[in-house]
Structure 1
Amino acid sequence: MSENCCHAGPQETGARDALLALDPYTLDDRQKNEDLMPIFREQLKDARGNNRHIEHYFSKLQIDIDALRQPEDVPFIPVQMFKHFDLRTCPENAVAKVLQSSGTTGASPSRIPLDKSTTLNQIKALKAILSDYLGKNRKIFLVVDHEGINKPEMAFSARTAGVRGLSIYAKKTFYLLREEEGRLTLNMPVIRDIIENYSHKEVYAFGFTYIIWTVFYEQLKKEGIRFSFDKFTLFHGGGWKKMKDLAVSKETFSGTIAELFGTETENILDFYGMAEQTGIIFVDCACGNKHVPAFSQVIIRDPFTLEPCSPGNTGLIEVMSILADSYYDQAVLTEDLGMLVGVDDCPCGRKGRYFRFVSRVEKAEVRGCGDTFRESR
């Protein structure tokens, strides 16, 4: 199959740009789906025409793209497929960077090819999400990790992606840990500087949940050190499987870490995201629900039937996105369990679907999908 130029057409690009320009949580679910579906259909046609694996997959499923009417109809790809197949949908010479992420299951890395337009869309999307939680102004950015995690030569990881992505709003960045002989320790000169000079500034922070708890919090507790910020927000993600092993609940984590930073529990924001959909994070609101922005959608599917679940039922999380021109990003079935809480009626005021993360699933590859791809190699 020949490789055509896969960049979005003017109509699709205009519709996508319009969604990216909105406040991300102002559309109700019905209107958002009406806006998303024409974009999805055009992107699926591009993907089918530019990737033989996608073509074989769609043919096997007898997909009629023009007949797709709602997000639940869009063919999803199990996230494991990124580890085994080239899902690039743009010419090879258009790829500016290939992200690699091994995740938490197995050693085989996912490969995510990014061209310039996809990277720009991801930046726009993340900026829109963060602005809803942080406002428009740049702030002091604290990274609960060591500076080496953000070096260009570092392999892409969830930690690296978080630092690079959330630095969009950084006026000045400080790393609160340092690495010594392979061990993370407190960066005491920086911590003292923060306490003395930045407690009354607008500050936001990012860290990997497990590292915040087992390294940062535990060592600060031994030193008897606490912060006291006037305006502070912490974004944290990942590591909940390990936290569960430690018998630390989300509520315990939020309360303890809020006290550590001298802030309110509602300013400790857990988010859900994945390397395969860089640019989109699903952030907790004050009610503890994760919200879906205008340029994305989330479906919870029954693990046994793969049919969409109704609110209140736990199933596999499917994440959808219109950001990518360079790879199949439109519908990805994850290896995580979640629960759809509700639609359009969260007390925080944000419109659209909102959900909660429940847990990871071991060995969650959907049976049959890999074989469907593999036949076309």
Structure 2
Amino acid sequence: MTFEEILGIKPFELDSAKKTEVLTDRLLWLSKLHLNNCSEYREIINRLWHFKDFESADEFKSKGLTYKDLPFLPVRLFKELDLKSVKDDQIIKTMHSSGTTNQRVSKIYLDKETSANQQKAMVKIVSDFTGSSRMPMIIIDCPSVIKNRALFSARGAGILGFSIFASKKFFALDDEMKLDVDGLRNFLEVNKDKKIFIFGFTFMIWQHFYKELVELKKSGIEFDLSNAIMIHGGGWKKLTSEAVSRDEFHEKLNEVCNIKDIHDYYGMVEQTGCIYMECECGHLHASIFSDVIVRNPLDFSVNKIGERGIVQVLSTIPTSYPGHSLLTEDEGVILGEDDCPCGRKGKYFKIFGRLKNAEIRGCSDTYADKFR
């Protein structure tokens, strides 16, 4: 199935059987593509997985195999190798993962097709939660983070990716990460009868937005964001160490500015576009463009629903680099499939955080580490 055909499907409408068929066809095709066009990927697969070539989709499925049986790469390889399946003159953008000062960062090479498809997928997924209309957007970050558009950080890429939902943008923080109180007041006044979209990374929202609003409220300055929807992501490690849970995060923001519509998301620069949005029930969801498998850390077998393990993420998007099937360094659990009370089909799951001794790498968490 082509990516354009997948785009024609609503992001959360396929049940397990139908989605398995779609993903098996697409991910098998992507595996063949990268096997033929990325020498490093081909050598890894041949050595570790003993594949000399992939069978046709019909042969593959006739053996009872699905996308769960296809090879995966550890996500850390993108820190060690330049993995790409296109020629250098086709690369229009290189994205870097977040990382602390002494860490190597992942390098993700995008051509025009992959970059465009990332944006198309993201629009379909997020619109299922926000609606299709563009909104005035408040970005809880500083404008300097997106200055170099040819060499994106994960943080800058997140801001630019979500900016497609903006009719106009306002950066709420200056380059010293101080809240622009007058600018925020003016922006809300101009857009007082409109739905507002707020985007930021979890720790930055807490440290530079929520805490500042608390102090302002003590001095009689308040902002009403009851007409806003907030989307945030980038990791919870730092807030967990501060004993701030998801529920408290929601409750405190509601207390200080009346915002109720808040959604976390899970994603990574190695699979930009395939984000996993948190629904009204507090569950992260896999869309038609992606899937999550939880594997046993002892033998990498597929865990059952409710069993904690290592998270594998799959994406139907990347054609310029072999990032379609990656074993992360996160621990998670599948909570269910096709039966979330929110009504969305597909797997829904929970992330517990980084595996023990794994590097900090989320945008929010790496910023928090530097901030500290």
- Could you tell me the TM-score, scaled by structure 2's length? 0.89
Residues in 1 aligned to 2:224 and 2:312: alpha-carbon distance in whole angstroms: 39
Q: Which amino acid aligns with 1:18?
A: E
Q: Deviation of residue 215 (structure 1)? A: 1.6
Residues in 2 aligned to 1:275 and 1:258: alpha-carbon distance in whole angstroms: 30
Q: 1:154 to 1:322 in 2, by over 3 A?
A: closer
Does residue 257 of the first structure (1) align with residue 253 of the second (2)? Answer: yes
Question: What stretches of structure 1 of length at least 5 have no aligned partner?
Answer: 1-11, 366-377
Residues in 2 aligned to 1:232 and 1:332: alpha-carbon distance in whole angstroms: 34
Does residue 24 of the first structure (1) align with residue 11 of the second (2)? Answer: yes
Residues in 1 aligned to 2:287 and 2:318: alpha-carbon distance in whole angstroms: 15
Alignment length (residue pairs): 347
What is aligned with 1:218?
A: 211
Which has the larger displacement, 252-261 or 289-298?
A: 252-261
Q: Which amino acid aligns with 1:311?
A: I
Query: What is the alpha-carbon root mean square deviation over aligned residues?
Result: 1.8
Which residues in structure 2 correspond to 1:213-292 (within 5 Å)? 213-224=206-217, 225-264=221-260, 267-292=261-286
Does residue 344 of the first structure (1) align with residue 338 of the second (2)? Answer: yes
- The one of 136, 140, 152 equivalent to 1:140 is 136
Residues in 1 aligned to 2:148 and 2:254: alpha-carbon distance in whole angstroms: 32
Q: Which amino acid aligns with 2:26?
A: I
Q: Deviation of residue 241 (structure 1)? A: 0.7
Q: Deviation of residue 106 (structure 1)? A: 4.9
Q: Which amino acid aligns with 2:45?
A: F
Q: Deviation of residue 47 (structure 1)? A: 0.7
On the 8 A contact 2:98/2:155 being kept in 1, the answer is: no
Residues in 2 aligned to 1:205 and 1:96: alpha-carbon distance in whole angstroms: 29
Q: Deviation of residue 100 (structure 1)? A: 1.6
Residues in 1 aligned to 2:40 and 2:146: alpha-carbon distance in whole angstroms: 34
Does residue 97 of the first structure (1) align with residue 97 of the second (2)? Answer: no
What is aligned with 1:3?
A: none
On the 8 A contact 2:295/2:311 being kept in 1, the answer is: yes
The residue matched to 1:222 in structure 2 has which SS?
helix
The residue matched to 1:304 in structure 2 has which SS?
coil
Q: Which amino acid aligns with 2:185?
A: R
Residues in 1 aligned to 2:93 and 2:150: alpha-carbon distance in whole angstroms: 14
- The one of 67, 78, 81 equivalent to 2:77 is 81
Does residue 354 of the first structure (1) align with residue 348 of the second (2)? Answer: yes
What is aligned with 2:198?
A: 205
What is aligned with 2:365?
A: none
On the 8 A contact 1:149/1:160 being kept in 2, the answer is: yes
Does residue 122 of the first structure (1) align with residue 122 of the second (2)? Answer: no
Q: Once superposed, which parts of structure 1, at least 4 consecutive aligned residues long, lie more than 4 Å away?
A: none
The residue matched to 1:186 in structure 2 has which SS?
coil
Residues in 2 aligned to 1:125 and 1:25: alpha-carbon distance in whole angstroms: 12
Q: Which amino acid aligns with 2:207?
A: T
Q: Deviation of residue 230 (structure 1)? A: 4.6
Q: Deviation of residue 88 (structure 1)? A: 0.3
The residue matched to 1:258 in structure 2 has which SS?
helix
Q: Which amino acid aligns with 1:314?
A: R
Residues in 2 aligned to 1:167 and 1:278: alpha-carbon distance in whole angstroms: 14
Q: Deviation of residue 361 (structure 1)? A: 1.8
Residues in 1 aligned to 2:151 and 2:30: alpha-carbon distance in whole angstroms: 29
The residue matched to 1:319 in structure 2 has which SS?
strand
What is aligned with 2:364?
A: none
Residues in 1 aligned to 2:190 and 2:252: alpha-carbon distance in whole angstroms: 24
Residues in 2 aligned to 1:104 and 1:345: alpha-carbon distance in whole angstroms: 39
What whole-Å deviation, never above 9, does each CA across 1:208-262 have from its counterpart, x for those lacking one?
A: 1001111211112111143223532100012311111111111111111133331
Q: Deviation of residue 128 (structure 1)? A: 0.3
Residues in 2 aligned to 1:120 and 1:137: alpha-carbon distance in whole angstroms: 20
Q: Deviation of residue 268 (structure 1)? A: 0.8
Q: Which amino acid aligns with 1:71?
A: Y
On the 8 A contact 1:139/1:172 being kept in 2, the answer is: yes
Q: 1:108 to 1:146 in 2, by over 3 A?
A: same
What is aligned with 2:362?
A: none
Does residue 62 of the first structure (1) align with residue 55 of the second (2)? Answer: no
The residue matched to 1:257 in structure 2 has which SS?
helix
Residues in 2 aligned to 1:104 and 1:226: alpha-carbon distance in whole angstroms: 35
The residue matched to 1:99 in structure 2 has which SS?
strand
Q: Which amino acid aligns with 1:65?
A: F
Residues in 2 aligned to 1:105 and 1:252: alpha-carbon distance in whole angstroms: 30
What is aligned with 1:312?
A: 306
What whole-Å deviation, never above 9, does each CA across 1:29-77 have from its counterpart, x for those lacking one?
A: 2101101211212211111111222111221211352236212111111
What whole-Å deviation, never above 9, does each CA across 1:145-190 have from its counterpart, x for those lacking one?
A: 11112223695333212210111110010111112xxx31111221
Q: Deviation of residue 329 (structure 1)? A: 1.5
What is aligned with 1:167?
A: 163
Residues in 1 aligned to 2:160 and 2:338: alpha-carbon distance in whole angstroms: 31
On the 8 A contact 2:311/2:332 being kept in 1, the answer is: yes
Q: Which amino acid aligns with 1:62?
A: H
Does residue 110 of the first structure (1) align with residue 106 of the second (2)? Answer: yes
Which has the larger displacement, 226-235 or 153-162?
A: 153-162
What is aligned with 1:72?
A: 68
On the 8 A contact 2:15/2:338 being kept in 1, the answer is: yes
The residue matched to 2:229 in structure 1 has which SS?
strand
Which has the larger displacement, 195-204 or 159-168?
A: 195-204
